[in-house]
Amino acid sequence: MNAPDRPGLVMFTPDSRTGWLECKHHGVIDSLPVPAYCCDLNNVIVCFNEAAAQLWGAAPERDGDGRFQAAHRLLRADGGELGPDETPATLATGTADLADGVELAVERPDGTKRLILSYPQPALGPGGDVLGVFCVDVDITDSRELEDALVRADASRRQVLSQLSHELRNPLSAILSATHVLHHIATAGPVERIADVLERQVRLMSDVASDLMEQPAEPTRVCAWRPAMMPAGDVIDQVLRDTAPLIASRGQTLRVSCAPEIMISRGGDLLASGMTAAIGHASQQGAPGSTLELEVTADGELLDIRIVAPPADGSAGSMAATSGDGTPQLADTREACDRLGGVLSSATPDPDAPGRIRIILPIASNS
Protein backbone atom coordinates (compact mmCIF):
# COMPACT_ATOMS: atom_id res chain seq x y z
CA MET A 1 0.00 0.00 0.00
CA ASN A 2 1.26 3.51 -0.83
CA ALA A 3 2.14 6.21 1.69
CA PRO A 4 -0.82 7.10 3.95
CA ASP A 5 -2.80 10.36 4.07
CA ARG A 6 -2.04 10.69 7.79
CA PRO A 7 1.45 10.56 9.38
CA GLY A 8 2.80 7.06 10.05
CA LEU A 9 5.64 5.47 11.99
CA VAL A 10 8.45 3.46 10.46
CA MET A 11 7.88 0.24 12.42
CA PHE A 12 8.50 -2.75 10.16
CA THR A 13 11.21 -4.49 8.24
CA PRO A 14 10.14 -7.49 6.12
CA ASP A 15 12.01 -10.71 6.81
CA SER A 16 14.04 -11.50 3.70
CA ARG A 17 13.55 -15.26 4.13
CA THR A 18 9.84 -15.55 5.01
CA GLY A 19 8.50 -12.16 3.95
CA TRP A 20 6.85 -11.76 7.34
CA LEU A 21 7.04 -8.41 9.11
CA GLU A 22 9.39 -7.77 12.00
CA CYS A 23 8.88 -4.85 14.37
CA LYS A 24 11.89 -2.54 14.75
CA HIS A 25 10.70 -1.06 18.07
CA HIS A 26 9.62 -4.14 20.01
CA GLY A 27 11.54 -2.94 23.07
CA VAL A 28 9.79 0.42 23.05
CA ILE A 29 6.39 -1.25 22.79
CA ASP A 30 7.28 -3.56 25.69
CA SER A 31 8.06 -0.56 27.89
CA LEU A 32 4.72 1.20 27.29
CA PRO A 33 2.38 1.13 30.35
CA VAL A 34 -0.75 0.83 28.17
CA PRO A 35 -1.83 -2.00 25.85
CA ALA A 36 -0.01 -1.62 22.52
CA TYR A 37 0.58 -3.89 19.55
CA CYS A 38 1.43 -4.00 15.86
CA CYS A 39 -0.38 -6.00 13.21
CA ASP A 40 -0.14 -6.34 9.44
CA LEU A 41 -2.78 -5.25 6.95
CA ASN A 42 -4.57 -8.58 7.43
CA ASN A 43 -4.85 -7.86 11.18
CA VAL A 44 -2.35 -10.60 12.03
CA ILE A 45 -0.45 -9.61 15.19
CA VAL A 46 3.26 -8.94 14.70
CA CYS A 47 4.22 -7.90 18.24
CA PHE A 48 2.53 -6.87 21.51
CA ASN A 49 3.36 -5.95 25.09
CA GLU A 50 2.37 -7.46 28.43
CA ALA A 51 -0.34 -4.85 29.03
CA ALA A 52 -2.03 -5.89 25.78
CA ALA A 53 -1.89 -9.57 26.79
CA GLN A 54 -3.54 -8.69 30.11
CA LEU A 55 -6.28 -6.75 28.32
CA TRP A 56 -6.87 -9.63 25.88
CA GLY A 57 -6.99 -12.17 28.71
CA ALA A 58 -4.23 -14.31 27.18
CA ALA A 59 -1.03 -13.87 25.21
CA PRO A 60 -1.34 -14.91 21.55
CA GLU A 61 0.35 -18.23 20.77
CA ARG A 62 2.33 -19.05 17.66
CA ASP A 63 0.99 -21.49 15.10
CA GLY A 64 3.00 -24.18 13.34
CA ASP A 65 4.49 -21.56 11.00
CA GLY A 66 5.57 -19.37 13.91
CA ARG A 67 2.93 -16.66 13.41
CA PHE A 68 0.87 -15.26 16.27
CA GLN A 69 -2.73 -16.47 16.57
CA ALA A 70 -4.84 -14.16 18.74
CA ALA A 71 -7.01 -15.77 21.42
CA HIS A 72 -9.27 -12.69 21.74
CA ARG A 73 -11.90 -11.21 19.41
CA LEU A 74 -12.49 -7.58 18.49
CA LEU A 75 -16.16 -6.60 18.35
CA ARG A 76 -18.22 -3.49 17.98
CA ALA A 77 -18.95 -1.65 21.22
CA ASP A 78 -22.50 -3.08 21.15
CA GLY A 79 -21.14 -6.63 20.81
CA GLY A 80 -21.81 -6.99 17.08
CA GLU A 81 -19.30 -8.42 14.62
CA LEU A 82 -16.82 -5.98 13.07
CA GLY A 83 -17.29 -5.34 9.39
CA PRO A 84 -14.28 -5.48 7.03
CA ASP A 85 -14.13 -1.65 7.03
CA GLU A 86 -14.14 -1.43 10.84
CA THR A 87 -10.92 -3.29 11.68
CA PRO A 88 -7.95 -1.34 13.10
CA ALA A 89 -5.95 -1.94 9.90
CA THR A 90 -8.71 -0.51 7.71
CA LEU A 91 -9.39 2.45 10.01
CA ALA A 92 -5.74 3.40 10.33
CA THR A 93 -5.23 3.45 6.57
CA GLY A 94 -8.49 5.29 5.86
CA THR A 95 -9.39 8.97 6.05
CA ALA A 96 -11.60 8.98 9.18
CA ASP A 97 -10.65 11.26 12.10
CA LEU A 98 -9.30 8.98 14.82
CA ALA A 99 -8.18 11.70 17.26
CA ASP A 100 -10.84 10.65 19.79
CA GLY A 101 -10.22 6.93 19.29
CA VAL A 102 -12.58 4.21 18.13
CA GLU A 103 -14.85 2.55 20.68
CA LEU A 104 -14.62 -1.25 20.42
CA ALA A 105 -15.07 -4.30 22.62
CA VAL A 106 -12.55 -7.05 23.38
CA GLU A 107 -13.95 -10.54 23.99
CA ARG A 108 -11.54 -12.64 26.03
CA PRO A 109 -11.13 -16.42 25.79
CA ASP A 110 -13.29 -16.86 28.92
CA GLY A 111 -16.17 -14.94 27.28
CA THR A 112 -15.84 -11.73 29.33
CA LYS A 113 -15.75 -8.42 27.48
CA ARG A 114 -13.80 -5.19 28.00
CA LEU A 115 -14.74 -1.87 26.44
CA ILE A 116 -11.81 -0.02 24.89
CA LEU A 117 -10.88 3.11 23.00
CA SER A 118 -8.52 2.09 20.21
CA TYR A 119 -6.06 4.50 18.60
CA PRO A 120 -4.68 2.88 15.40
CA GLN A 121 -2.25 4.61 13.06
CA PRO A 122 -0.30 3.48 9.99
CA ALA A 123 2.94 1.58 10.46
CA LEU A 124 5.41 1.93 7.62
CA GLY A 125 8.18 -0.10 6.06
CA PRO A 126 11.64 1.20 5.14
CA GLY A 127 10.37 2.62 1.85
CA GLY A 128 7.49 4.55 3.42
CA ASP A 129 4.77 2.16 2.25
CA VAL A 130 2.05 1.18 4.72
CA LEU A 131 2.71 -2.39 5.81
CA GLY A 132 0.52 -2.56 8.90
CA VAL A 133 -0.80 -0.75 11.96
CA PHE A 134 0.57 0.40 15.31
CA CYS A 135 -2.29 0.50 17.84
CA VAL A 136 -2.66 1.70 21.44
CA ASP A 137 -5.77 0.66 23.40
CA VAL A 138 -7.26 2.29 26.50
CA ASP A 139 -9.49 0.13 28.71
CA ILE A 140 -12.54 2.27 29.59
CA THR A 141 -14.66 -0.52 31.10
CA ASP A 142 -14.27 0.60 34.70
CA SER A 143 -14.72 4.27 33.78
CA ARG A 144 -17.92 3.48 31.88
CA GLU A 145 -19.27 1.37 34.77
CA LEU A 146 -18.49 4.22 37.19
CA GLU A 147 -20.13 6.70 34.85
CA ASP A 148 -23.26 4.57 34.58
CA ALA A 149 -23.35 4.14 38.37
CA LEU A 150 -23.13 7.91 38.83
CA VAL A 151 -25.90 8.45 36.29
CA ARG A 152 -28.12 5.94 38.14
CA ALA A 153 -27.33 7.62 41.46
CA ASP A 154 -28.18 11.01 39.97
CA ALA A 155 -31.48 9.67 38.62
CA SER A 156 -32.30 8.21 42.05
CA ARG A 157 -31.46 11.53 43.74
CA ARG A 158 -33.68 13.45 41.34
CA GLN A 159 -36.52 11.01 41.96
CA VAL A 160 -36.21 11.46 45.74
CA LEU A 161 -36.12 15.27 45.41
CA SER A 162 -39.13 15.23 43.14
CA GLN A 163 -41.06 13.09 45.62
CA LEU A 164 -39.98 15.36 48.47
CA SER A 165 -41.16 18.41 46.53
CA HIS A 166 -44.52 16.75 45.95
CA GLU A 167 -44.85 15.88 49.64
CA LEU A 168 -44.03 19.48 50.62
CA ARG A 169 -46.58 20.99 48.28
CA ASN A 170 -49.55 19.11 49.76
CA PRO A 171 -49.38 20.63 53.32
CA LEU A 172 -48.24 24.01 52.00
CA SER A 173 -51.30 24.23 49.80
CA ALA A 174 -53.55 23.59 52.79
CA ILE A 175 -51.75 26.22 54.92
CA LEU A 176 -51.96 28.79 52.13
CA SER A 177 -55.70 28.17 51.83
CA ALA A 178 -56.01 28.70 55.58
CA THR A 179 -54.24 32.08 55.35
CA HIS A 180 -56.74 33.14 52.68
CA VAL A 181 -59.54 32.26 55.07
CA LEU A 182 -57.85 34.26 57.85
CA HIS A 183 -57.59 37.29 55.56
CA HIS A 184 -61.26 36.98 54.77
CA ILE A 185 -62.54 36.70 58.36
CA ALA A 186 -59.91 38.77 60.23
CA THR A 187 -61.31 41.88 61.92
CA ALA A 188 -58.36 42.69 64.18
CA GLY A 189 -54.90 43.98 63.16
CA PRO A 190 -52.84 41.22 64.89
CA VAL A 191 -54.71 38.40 63.13
CA GLU A 192 -54.23 40.13 59.77
CA ARG A 193 -50.46 40.49 60.41
CA ILE A 194 -50.19 36.82 61.44
CA ALA A 195 -51.93 35.79 58.22
CA ASP A 196 -49.48 37.96 56.23
CA VAL A 197 -46.47 36.33 57.92
CA LEU A 198 -47.83 32.83 57.33
CA GLU A 199 -48.55 33.56 53.67
CA ARG A 200 -45.05 34.97 53.04
CA GLN A 201 -43.36 31.95 54.66
CA VAL A 202 -45.57 29.48 52.84
CA ARG A 203 -44.75 31.11 49.51
CA LEU A 204 -41.01 30.94 50.31
CA MET A 205 -41.32 27.22 51.08
CA SER A 206 -43.31 26.75 47.89
CA ASP A 207 -40.46 28.33 45.90
CA VAL A 208 -38.02 25.89 47.56
CA ALA A 209 -40.27 22.97 46.58
CA SER A 210 -40.37 24.27 42.99
CA ASP A 211 -36.56 24.50 42.89
CA LEU A 212 -36.32 20.87 44.00
CA MET A 213 -38.39 19.79 40.99
CA GLU A 214 -36.40 21.84 38.46
CA GLN A 215 -33.81 19.23 37.37
CA PRO A 216 -31.89 19.16 34.07
CA ALA A 217 -33.56 17.12 31.37
CA GLU A 218 -30.42 15.01 30.87
CA PRO A 219 -27.95 13.98 33.60
CA THR A 220 -24.43 15.32 33.16
CA ARG A 221 -22.11 12.67 31.82
CA VAL A 222 -18.87 12.46 33.77
CA CYS A 223 -16.75 10.95 30.97
CA ALA A 224 -17.24 12.31 27.47
CA TRP A 225 -16.88 9.00 25.60
CA ARG A 226 -18.62 9.04 22.24
CA PRO A 227 -21.06 6.21 21.50
CA ALA A 228 -20.18 3.97 18.59
CA MET A 229 -22.54 4.95 15.75
CA MET A 230 -23.57 2.85 12.78
CA PRO A 231 -25.59 3.78 9.67
CA ALA A 232 -29.24 2.75 9.72
CA GLY A 233 -28.63 1.52 6.18
CA ASP A 234 -26.36 -1.24 7.54
CA VAL A 235 -29.22 -2.54 9.70
CA ILE A 236 -31.63 -2.37 6.77
CA ASP A 237 -29.18 -4.29 4.55
CA GLN A 238 -29.11 -7.08 7.13
CA VAL A 239 -32.92 -7.07 7.36
CA LEU A 240 -33.24 -7.28 3.56
CA ARG A 241 -30.92 -10.27 3.46
CA ASP A 242 -32.85 -12.05 6.23
CA THR A 243 -36.31 -11.41 4.76
CA ALA A 244 -35.47 -11.92 1.05
CA PRO A 245 -36.30 -15.68 0.93
CA LEU A 246 -39.79 -15.24 2.45
CA ILE A 247 -40.68 -12.20 0.33
CA ALA A 248 -39.48 -13.92 -2.83
CA SER A 249 -41.45 -17.09 -2.04
CA ARG A 250 -44.65 -15.01 -1.87
CA GLY A 251 -43.85 -13.11 -5.06
CA GLN A 252 -43.75 -9.83 -3.17
CA THR A 253 -41.42 -6.84 -3.38
CA LEU A 254 -40.24 -4.59 -0.57
CA ARG A 255 -39.92 -0.87 -1.28
CA VAL A 256 -37.49 0.82 1.15
CA SER A 257 -37.14 4.50 2.03
CA CYS A 258 -34.36 5.58 4.43
CA ALA A 259 -32.26 8.77 4.50
CA PRO A 260 -28.55 7.87 4.24
CA GLU A 261 -27.52 10.25 7.05
CA ILE A 262 -29.56 8.44 9.74
CA MET A 263 -27.27 6.79 12.29
CA ILE A 264 -28.03 4.24 15.03
CA SER A 265 -26.41 4.81 18.42
CA ARG A 266 -26.91 1.30 19.85
CA GLY A 267 -28.66 -2.05 19.52
CA GLY A 268 -28.09 -2.63 15.81
CA ASP A 269 -28.42 -6.43 15.97
CA LEU A 270 -31.46 -6.21 18.26
CA LEU A 271 -33.11 -3.68 15.94
CA ALA A 272 -32.42 -5.89 12.91
CA SER A 273 -34.02 -8.88 14.65
CA GLY A 274 -37.14 -6.87 15.53
CA MET A 275 -37.49 -5.40 12.02
CA THR A 276 -36.98 -8.82 10.42
CA ALA A 277 -39.78 -10.27 12.53
CA ALA A 278 -42.10 -7.35 11.72
CA ILE A 279 -41.50 -7.53 7.96
CA GLY A 280 -41.88 -11.32 8.01
CA HIS A 281 -45.23 -10.94 9.77
CA ALA A 282 -46.33 -8.25 7.28
CA SER A 283 -45.32 -10.48 4.35
CA GLN A 284 -47.31 -13.45 5.65
CA GLN A 285 -50.40 -11.34 6.34
CA GLY A 286 -50.16 -9.27 3.14
CA ALA A 287 -51.41 -10.19 -0.29
CA PRO A 288 -49.20 -12.47 -2.42
CA GLY A 289 -47.51 -10.57 -5.25
CA SER A 290 -48.05 -7.23 -3.50
CA THR A 291 -45.56 -4.49 -2.69
CA LEU A 292 -44.65 -3.99 0.97
CA GLU A 293 -43.37 -0.61 2.11
CA LEU A 294 -40.65 0.08 4.69
CA GLU A 295 -40.05 3.72 5.66
CA VAL A 296 -37.37 4.75 8.17
CA THR A 297 -37.12 8.36 9.34
CA ALA A 298 -35.48 10.15 12.28
CA ASP A 299 -36.63 13.11 14.34
CA GLY A 300 -33.84 14.06 16.73
CA GLU A 301 -33.10 10.92 18.76
CA LEU A 302 -36.33 9.15 17.73
CA LEU A 303 -36.12 6.47 15.02
CA ASP A 304 -39.52 6.04 13.32
CA ILE A 305 -40.06 2.79 11.38
CA ARG A 306 -43.27 2.21 9.41
CA ILE A 307 -44.21 -1.02 7.60
CA VAL A 308 -47.28 -1.19 5.34
CA ALA A 309 -48.67 -4.35 3.72
CA PRO A 310 -51.67 -4.49 1.32
CA PRO A 311 -54.41 -6.86 2.52
CA ALA A 312 -54.82 -10.32 1.04
CA ASP A 313 -57.65 -10.77 -1.47
CA GLY A 314 -60.96 -11.53 0.18
CA SER A 315 -59.93 -10.84 3.78
CA ALA A 316 -57.19 -8.81 5.35
CA GLY A 317 -54.60 -10.54 7.46
CA SER A 318 -54.42 -9.39 11.05
CA MET A 319 -51.56 -6.99 11.75
CA ALA A 320 -52.63 -6.55 15.36
CA ALA A 321 -50.26 -7.31 18.23
CA THR A 322 -52.45 -10.28 19.28
CA SER A 323 -54.22 -12.89 17.20
CA GLY A 324 -57.92 -13.63 17.41
CA ASP A 325 -57.46 -16.15 20.22
CA GLY A 326 -55.28 -13.75 22.22
CA THR A 327 -51.95 -15.35 21.25
CA PRO A 328 -49.14 -12.72 21.19
CA GLN A 329 -47.67 -11.95 17.78
CA LEU A 330 -44.56 -9.93 16.80
CA ALA A 331 -42.81 -11.26 19.93
CA ASP A 332 -39.28 -10.54 18.67
CA THR A 333 -40.28 -7.04 17.59
CA ARG A 334 -41.89 -6.32 20.95
CA GLU A 335 -38.81 -7.62 22.79
CA ALA A 336 -36.55 -5.32 20.76
CA CYS A 337 -38.80 -2.35 21.54
CA ASP A 338 -38.87 -3.18 25.26
CA ARG A 339 -35.09 -3.58 25.50
CA LEU A 340 -34.35 -0.42 23.52
CA GLY A 341 -36.96 1.69 25.34
CA GLY A 342 -39.31 2.11 22.38
CA VAL A 343 -42.95 1.48 21.49
CA LEU A 344 -44.70 -0.82 19.00
CA SER A 345 -48.10 -0.32 17.43
CA SER A 346 -49.76 -2.54 14.83
CA ALA A 347 -53.27 -2.74 13.44
CA THR A 348 -55.48 -3.33 10.40
CA PRO A 349 -58.10 -0.51 10.31
CA ASP A 350 -60.57 -2.49 8.13
CA PRO A 351 -60.51 -5.43 5.66
CA ASP A 352 -59.84 -3.17 2.67
CA ALA A 353 -57.14 -1.02 4.29
CA PRO A 354 -53.41 -1.85 4.38
CA GLY A 355 -52.04 -3.35 7.57
CA ARG A 356 -49.60 -1.08 9.37
CA ILE A 357 -46.79 -1.67 11.87
CA ARG A 358 -45.00 1.25 13.51
CA ILE A 359 -41.89 1.11 15.70
CA ILE A 360 -40.50 4.17 17.51
CA LEU A 361 -37.12 3.91 19.28
CA PRO A 362 -34.90 6.54 21.00
CA ILE A 363 -31.69 5.39 19.29
CA ALA A 364 -31.32 7.65 16.23
CA SER A 365 -29.02 10.47 15.27
CA ASN A 366 -29.04 12.33 11.95
CA SER A 367 -26.25 14.72 12.95
Alpha helices in the chain (DSSP H): 26-31, 50-56, 88-92, 141-185, 189-213, 232-249, 268-285, 331-340
Average pLDDT, the chain: 77
More confident residue, 225 or 62: 62
Q: Which CATH number fits domain 230-365: 3.30.565.10, 3.20.20.140, 2.70.98.10, 3.40.50.300?
A: 3.30.565.10
> Which pLDDT band, with edges at 50, 70 and 90, does 180 fall under?
low
CATH superfamily of 9-139: PAS domain (3.30.450.20)
Residues 111-169: tens digit of each pLDDT: 899 999 988 888 887 777 788 888 889 999 988 888 888 888 888 888 887 787 777 77
Q: Residue 225 and residue 266: Cα distance in Å, rounded?
A: 14
Q: Would you kindly state where each structural domain of the chain is located, as residue ranges?
A: 9-139, 144-213, 230-365
More confident residue, 196 or 13: 196
The 3-state DSSP class for residue 15 equals coil
Least confident interval from 82-91, 186-195, 202-211, 295-304: 186-195
Q: Which CATH number fits domain 144-213: 1.20.1050, 1.10.287, 3.30.499, 1.10.3910?
A: 1.10.287
Q: What are the backbone dihedrals phi and psi of residue 75, each rounded to the nearest 5 degrees, phi first?
A: -130, 170
Kindly list the distances between the CA atom of residue 163 and the CA atoms of 86, 157, 208, 220, in Å, as whole numbers in the listed order. Answer: 46, 10, 13, 21
> Which pLDDT band, with edges at 50, 70 and 90, does 237 fall under?
very high
Residues 74-124: tens digit of each pLDDT: 888 888 888 877 877 777 777 666 667 888 999 999 989 999 998 888 888
**Would you state the pLDDT for residue 95?**
63
Answer for the pair 118, 133: CB distance below 8 angstroms, yes or no.
Answer: no
More confident residue, 286 or 181: 286
Q: Report the pLDDT averaged over residues 53-65.
A: 83
Q: Residue 214 and residue 220: Cα distance in Å, rounded?
A: 15
Q: Residue 301 and residue 304: Cα distance in Å, rounded?
A: 10
**Would you state the pLDDT for residue 349?**
54
CB-CB neighbours of 52 under 10 Å: 23
Q: Residue 356 and residue 349: Cα distance in Å, rounded?
A: 9
Answer for the pair 294, 305: CB distance below 8 angstroms, yes or no.
Answer: yes
Residues 276-308: tens digit of each pLDDT: 999 998 888 888 999 999 999 887 777 889 999
At residue 327, does pLDDT exceed 60? no
Q: Residue 172 and residue 169: Cα distance in Å, rounded?
A: 5
The 3-state DSSP class for residue 8 equals coil
DSSP notation for 23-89: ETTHHHHHH-SS-EEEEETT--EEEE-HHHHHHHTSPPEE-TTS-EE-SSEEEETTSPBPPTTSSHH
